[in-house]
Structures are given as structure tokens and as C-alpha cells.
């Protein structure tokens, strides 16, 4: 690519050579994610992936796409760019796992005002880490330099992932019934949702968010908010392998009230024991600082629960043991009951 340079394009604000340098810098991170299934090197026109259908009778592809949202504003302020890629992967693969599918590969899209190769590579290092955590291969992506559209020091980040499941093993909530147990998988923090409200509450563009705060265990507001979204793929795959899971919800934007009902069939209701929810300190601080009503908190944030899982009552202890063995401090937060409300928190 040494012959590829356009002085006219550079004068318009787009440095082609910076793009090539960014690709070279990110290759070492991408190499961490590549499995034997990845069938090409980064830099081609498409990402190739060879499907291994061993043990799968009727394969169903499951896809997910998402971005990081305005959490990126915190990355700009803190000048820390190596974790938002984890968020981007998490938002996609955590959705895929809710169907009972295993993520296979991931592609990212970075749009920026100015291509600073070192910063792009830092972003991709987080994407690669998210792929390692989820067992997905990073097989491609795109970096678009868009001067005049984005400020020079800002960027947007989105991603796309594909997984696979055997049709017979796709989660079926029609088997859910009264008395089933709802298990919580703890979140790592705010994850990647509700940041428009978070930014308003803490006035992040103007206030000091870098000073340690006692309520947050000595961490700053900025550091705490940038904690990357937890990825639940591996512990959930271990759970699927051992017991029948009747429903899974990824607690994202809309909090408990919007997301838990998505896995509950008509005629049933998720009864959440509010006192059982292990609310993280950051949510107490958000509520206190912004004077936000409790219902709004549960209708916006994950409140310390990143994923909920419904299993039969007789399988609950086994499910907890499996999740604990796989690094999740899972616990029971409620049960399924008959009703038309879909969710009750009390």
C-alpha cells in the first residue's frame, strides 16, 4: 500500500496512510481472537468464516448488532479508549446468547473525525478482548474517517455478530410455568445503557468526574462509569449444556420493566423480590444525585443485574452451582407466577 496516497484527499482531511497504519497496529489484537474457522486475513473485502456443524442437526444463524451509545462521551472525557470495544461486543453477544446461540464471529465499525492510528488500535484492543471473552473471532471491520461530520477527537463505535444454534435447542419460553425460579447474574455496573440520563445527572461535560468518591469505593465517577459491560456467553453456554433454561433476558435500556417481560409468555408474570436485588453503589449515587424515583431507576438501568435466567424450581440449585463454577455470583431474585402484568417488582 506504499503507493497509495492522495494529497488532494489529505487536504480534505482524510489521511489514507493513517488507515493503513491503524490496520497494522490492530492486527496483533485481532490475532488473539482468530480461530481455525477464520478463513482470511484482515484487509480483504469481506470476513470469511468456515462453519463447523459438528453436533448440529438443523443450524439456525442468530445475529445481533448494537453500539456503545453516549457512553463514548465518557471515554472522550477520560481519554480512555481500550474498554468501549468490550462494551460493543457485549451488547451484541449477550443478546445472541439469550436465544441459546453460540457467537461465532464479530465485525466492528468505527467512524471518526480524524484517524489517529494509535487510538483506533486502542479501541480495537477492547473489541478483541470482548471477542476473547465471548469466544468469537474478530474477522473484519471498517474504519471511516469523516472530517466535518465528527469532531477530530470523537468517534462512534458499532458492531455486528453472528451466532449459531441447533433449532431444537433454541430457547422456548412456552415451557415456562408458575413456580419457576428467576436467577440474577450480576452486572459490572451501568454497562452501556442509560448514559444520556447518567451524563445529565453528573453533568459529565462540566463537572469533575476524575476525583475519587467514597461511595464508589475510592474510584472516580468517570472510572466507575467506564467499567466495561460484563459478557455472559461462556457461563451461559455451560448452563445450557447441563439443564433446561426456559428464558433469558439481557437487562439493557429500559431496565427490568422492559427487558424481563421479553422472555415471559402471555399469561405469566415475573415477580421480582426487590429486597433481593443487590443494587450496586453507582445506582444509589445516580438516584441520590439526580433525585430519580425508584421506579424510574428500575425502568432505565440494570440496577446490578445484567442478565436474568428462568429455570424450573427443581433445577435452581443445580443452575446456581453451574454458574458459580463458571465465575458468576448468581442468586435468586424472584419467581414466575400467573398473571397478565408480565412483571411485578415489590
Q: What is the pLDDT of residues 51-109, one digit of tens each?
A: 888 888 999 999 999 999 999 999 999 999 999 999 999 999 999 999 999 999 999 99
Higher pLDDT, 76 or 32: 76
Q: What percent of the chain lies above the pLDDT cut of 70?
A: 89
* Nearest-angstrom CA–CA distance, 94 and 310: 16
For position 47, what pLDDT does the model report? 80
Beta bridge partners of 182: 310, 334
Query: CA dist 291 to 60, 194, 200, 296, Å?
Result: 46, 15, 12, 10
Lowest mean pLDDT among 7-16, 44-53, 138-147: 7-16
Residue 308 pLDDT > 90, yes or no? yes
| 76-108 burial: b if 16+ Cβ within 10 Å, else e | bbbeebbbbbbbbbbbbbbbbbbbbbbbbbbbb
pTM: 0.92
Helix (H, G, I), strand (E, B) or coil at 134: helix
Q: What is the DSSP string of 222-281?
A: HHHHTPPPP--HHHHHHHHHHS-EEEEEE--TTHHHHHGGGGS-TTEEEEE-GGGS---H
For position 45, what pLDDT does the model report? 74
For position 5, what pLDDT does the model report? 57
Start-to-end C-alpha separation, the chain: 62
Amino acid at each position: 500500500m506504499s503507493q497509495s496516497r492522495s494529497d488532494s484527499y489529505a487536504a480534505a482531511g482524510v489521511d489514507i496512510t493513517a488507515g493503513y497504519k491503524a490496520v497494522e497496529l490492530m492486527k496483533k489484537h485481532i490475532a488473539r481472537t482468530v480461530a481455525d474457522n477464520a478463513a482470511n486475513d484482515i484487509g480483504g473485502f469481506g470476513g470469511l468464516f468456515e462453519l463447523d456443524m459438528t453436533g448440529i442437526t438443523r443450524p439456525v444463524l442468530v445475529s445481533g448488532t448494537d453500539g456503545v451509545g453516549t457512553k463514548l462521551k465518557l471515554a472522550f472525557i477520560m481519554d480512555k479508549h481500550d474498554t468501549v470495544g468490550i462494551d460493543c461486543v457485549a451488547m451484541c453477544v449477550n443478546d445472541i446468547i439469550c436465544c441459546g446461540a453460540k457467537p461465532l464471529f464479530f465485525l466492528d465499525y468505527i467512524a471518526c473525525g480524524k484517524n489517529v492510528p494509535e487510538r483506533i488500535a486502542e479501541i480495537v484492543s477492547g473489541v478483541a478482548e470482548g471477542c476473547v471473552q465471548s469466544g468469537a473471532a474478530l474477522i473484519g471491520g471498517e474504519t471511516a474517517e469523516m472530517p466535518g461530520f465528527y469532531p477530530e477527537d470523537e468517534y462512534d463505535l458499532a458492531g455486528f455478530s453472528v451466532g449459531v444454534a441447533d433449532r431444537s435447542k433454541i430457547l422456548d419460553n412456552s415451557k415456562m410455568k408458575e413456580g419457576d425460579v428467576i436467577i440474577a447474574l450480576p452486572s459490572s455496573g451501568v454497562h452501556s445503557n442509560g448514559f444520556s440520563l447518567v451524563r445529565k445527572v453528573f453533568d459529565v461535560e462540566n463537572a469533575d468526574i476524575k476525583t475519587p468518591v467514597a461511595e464508589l469505593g475510592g474510584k472516580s465517577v468517570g472510572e466507575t462509569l467506564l467499567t466495561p459491560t460484563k459478557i455472559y456467553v461462556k457461563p451461559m453456554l455451560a448452563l445450557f449444556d447441563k439443564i433446561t433454561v426456559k428464558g433469558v433476558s439481557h437487562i439493557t435500556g429500559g431496565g427490568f420493566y422492559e427487558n424481563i417481560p421479553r422472555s415471559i409468555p402471555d399469561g405469566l408474570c415475573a415477580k421480582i423480590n426487590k429486597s433481593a436485588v443487590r443494587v450496586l453503589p453507582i445506582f444509589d449515587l445516580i438516584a441520590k444525585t439526580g433525585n430519580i424515583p425508584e421506579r424510574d431507576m428500575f425502568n432505565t438501568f440494570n440496577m446490578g443485574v445484567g442478565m436474568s435466567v428462568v429455570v424450573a424450581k427443581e433445577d435452581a440449585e443445580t443452575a446456581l452451582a453451574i454458574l458459580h463454577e463458571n465465575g458468576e455470583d448468581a442468586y435468586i431474585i424472584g419467581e414466575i407466577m400467573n398473571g397478565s402484568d408480565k412483571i411485578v417488582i415489590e
